[in-house]
Amino acid sequence: MSGMSGLGSGIGYHVAVDFNHFKKIYLAQNRRYMRKTGIGAAVVGVLLTAAGIAMVITEPSGNSLGVLAGGVAIGAFGIAMAVHPFTMFQSRKGEVYKFFAMFGAPVTGQEPLNALYTEFDVILGNLGIEFRLRDGSVHRLPWVALTNPAVAMDCGHVFAGDDGNNSSLLHNMIGINAYLREGMEAVPLVVPSEVERAYPWLLDEISRHIADANAKFGDNGNAKGGPEAQAIIAWLNAAPEGGTALSRN
């Protein structure tokens, strides 16, 4: 790791990810959406529970007990999801393999999830982030592709990738995401705890770059098409051979 306050000269650090680490990153990436989903389920559960109680009082039957039990179950699920987001990774193997393959792991799609592992270097600069993989390839990501604030993990922080409407509960409820579920459509930025200790100011600096980029180049940005935007496009397009530009979805 090297560098001083500010990102002009580039700040570099190393990231190692195994499956347990990936699970924390995945949940951090999707935490806001999963909590909104949990709150929605809790509201539905409360309404069903109230309806079930009314049905049991006025006309006890197997159906009324079923409505009551269903309402309680949905409400409990929603509260649990809102308080402590969770998911089942066995049903998301494709996303898990895709993440590790994108970051340089030799994935065939047959490996046990617990056997997955990769490591890469991260370089933070004024234009964006470089992910330098072990095979020498480089992925580039502009600051506008990330969101504030950082999400805390027990091993550091994650700046979630901006996946646009994929994180909108309303967008999902009208059927655009038929599975009504979270995903890994965007690339997050991981800042390990040891990096935070080495650069105590780094999280604030990253947040500032993200906020500045969104003010200039986001949906209501005031600098689209200007010289700064052109410089970022040129930087993305100049990714070294074998690399890619990870642009905003």
158 assigned to some structural domain: yes
218 assigned to some structural domain: yes
114 assigned to some structural domain: yes
pLDDT at 245 over 60: no
Structure-block tokens of residue 84: 């402590």
- Look at the chain and report how many structural domains it folds into: 1
67 assigned to some structural domain: no
pLDDT averaged over every residue in the chain: 84
Segment 40-83, tens digit of pLDDT: 889 999 999 999 999 999 988 888 899 999 999 999 988 988 88
Segment 175-197, tens digit of pLDDT: 444 444 556 677 899 999 999 99
Does the global pTM surpass 0.95? no
* Structural domain span for residue 172: 11-30+89-245
56 assigned to some structural domain: no
Give percent of the chain with pLDDT exceeding 70.
81
192 assigned to some structural domain: yes
pLDDT at 204 over 90: yes
81 assigned to some structural domain: no
167 assigned to some structural domain: yes
